[in-house]
Structure 1
Amino acid sequence: MVSSVDRSEIAFFDLETTIPTRPEQPYAILEFGSILVCPKKLIELESFETLVRPHDLSLISASSVRANGITADAVVSAPTFSDIADRVYDILHGRVWAGHNILRFDCVRLREAYAQINRSPPEPKGTIDSLALLTQRFGRRAGDMKMASLAAYFGLGQQSHRSLDDVRMNFEVVKHCATVLFLESANPGEQIPIPIPSNEAMVEDSSSTTQSDAFTPQTEFLPSNEVSMASITVSSSSSVSPYFHGSHKIQILHRDIPLQIRCDSMRIRFGLSTKYLDHAGRPRLSFVVDANSSNLCDLLNTCDNITKRFMDSDRNSEWRPLVSRKPGFFDSPTIRLHLRTEDGDGSGWMTEIYKKESSSLSSLSIPQLVTSSRYDVAELDWLFRPGGFVDAYLCLDPYNYQQNAGIRLVAKKLVVHY
Structure 2
Amino acid sequence: MATLVNYFGIGKQSHRSLDDVHMNLEVLKYCATVLFGVSTKFVDNFGRPRLNFVVDASPSLCRVLDQCDKIAQKFSVESGSKSEWRHVVIKFGKYNYPTIRVHMPIMFNGGIEQIMTELCQRDCSGSTQKVVFIGLETAELINLIRPGTLVDAFFSFGSYDYQGSAGIRLVAKKLIIYSEE
Shorter-chain TM range is 0.7 to 0.9
Task: Give runs of aligned pairs for residues 53-64 of structure 1, distance below 5 A.
Answer: none
User: In structure 1, the residue corresponding to 2:68 is in which secondary structure?
Assistant: helix
Aligned partner letter, 1:296: L
1:393 to 136, 141, 154: 154
Higher CA-based Rg = 1
1:308 to 67, 70, 73: 73
Q: Distance in 2 between matches of 1:408 and 1:334?
A: 13
- The 3 A distance-change label for structure 1 pair 337 and 283 is same
User: In structure 1, the residue corresponding to 2:37 is in which secondary structure?
Assistant: strand
Alignment-derived partner of residue 236 in structure 1: 16
User: In structure 2, the residue corresponding to 1:382 is in which secondary structure?
Assistant: helix
Task: Give runs of aligned pairs for residues 126-141 of structure 1, distance below 5 A.
Answer: none
1:348 aligns with 2:128: no
Q: Distance in 2 between matches of 1:235 and 1:276?
A: 34
Aligned partner letter, 2:7: M
Alignment-derived partner of residue 325 in structure 1: 91
1:251 aligns with 2:22: yes
Which structure carries more strand by proportion?
2
Alignment-derived partner of residue 415 in structure 1: 176
- Please report how far the alpha carbon of residue 230 of structure 1 lies from its aligned counterpart in structure 2 after TM superposition: 6.3
- Please report how far the alpha carbon of residue 251 of structure 1 lies from its aligned counterpart in structure 2 after TM superposition: 2.5
Aligned partner letter, 1:369: K
- Please report how far the alpha carbon of residue 344 of structure 1 lies from its aligned counterpart in structure 2 after TM superposition: 6.5
Contact 2:108 2:114 in 1 (8 A): no
Alignment-derived partner of residue 46 in structure 1: none
Q: Distance in 1 between matches of 2:139 and 2:59?
A: 34
Aligned partner letter, 1:386: P
Aligned partner letter, 2:140: E
Aligned length: 171
- The 3 A distance-change label for structure 1 pair 228 and 341 is farther
Contact 2:122 2:128 in 1 (8 A): yes
Task: Give runs of aligned pairs for residues 343-382 of structure 1, distance below 5 A.
Answer: 347-357=113-123, 359-360=124-125, 365-371=126-132, 374-382=135-143
- Please report how far the alpha carbon of residue 343 of structure 1 lies from its aligned counterpart in structure 2 after TM superposition: 6.5
Q: Which runs of 5+ in 2 are unaligned?
A: none
Cα deviations across residues 6-62 of structure 1 (Å, max 9, x unaligned)?
A: xxxxxxxxxxxxxxxxxxxxxxxxxxxxxxxxxxxxxxxxxxxxxxxxxxxxxxxxx
Contact 1:350 1:372 in 2 (8 A): no
1:297 aligns with 2:62: yes
1:260 aligns with 2:26: yes
Q: Distance in 2 between matches of 1:314 and 1:343?
A: 33
CA-atom RMSD, angstroms? 2.6
- The 3 A distance-change label for structure 1 pair 373 and 401 is farther
Aligned partner letter, 1:415: I
User: In structure 2, the residue corresponding to 1:236 is in which secondary structure?
Assistant: coil
- The 3 A distance-change label for structure 1 pair 403 and 235 is farther
Task: Give runs of aligned pairs for residues 155-304 of structure 1, distance below 5 A.
Answer: 229=7, 231=9, 236=16, 248-252=19-23, 258-291=24-57, 293-304=58-69
- The 3 A distance-change label for structure 1 pair 354 and 320 is same
Q: Which runs of 5+ in 1 are unaligned?
A: 1-226, 238-243, 253-257
- The 3 A distance-change label for structure 1 pair 373 and 406 is farther
TM-score normalized with structure 2 length:
0.83
- The 3 A distance-change label for structure 1 pair 369 and 401 is same
Task: Give runs of aligned pairs for residues 55-74 of structure 1, distance below 5 A.
Answer: none
- The 3 A distance-change label for structure 1 pair 234 and 355 is farther
User: In structure 2, the residue corresponding to 1:286 is in which secondary structure?
Assistant: strand
Aligned partner letter, 2:16: S
- The 3 A distance-change label for structure 1 pair 249 and 354 is same
Higher RCO (Cα < 8 Å, 6 or more apart): 2
- Please report how far the alpha carbon of residue 326 of structure 1 lies from its aligned counterpart in structure 2 after TM superposition: 2.8
Contact 2:113 2:136 in 1 (8 A): no
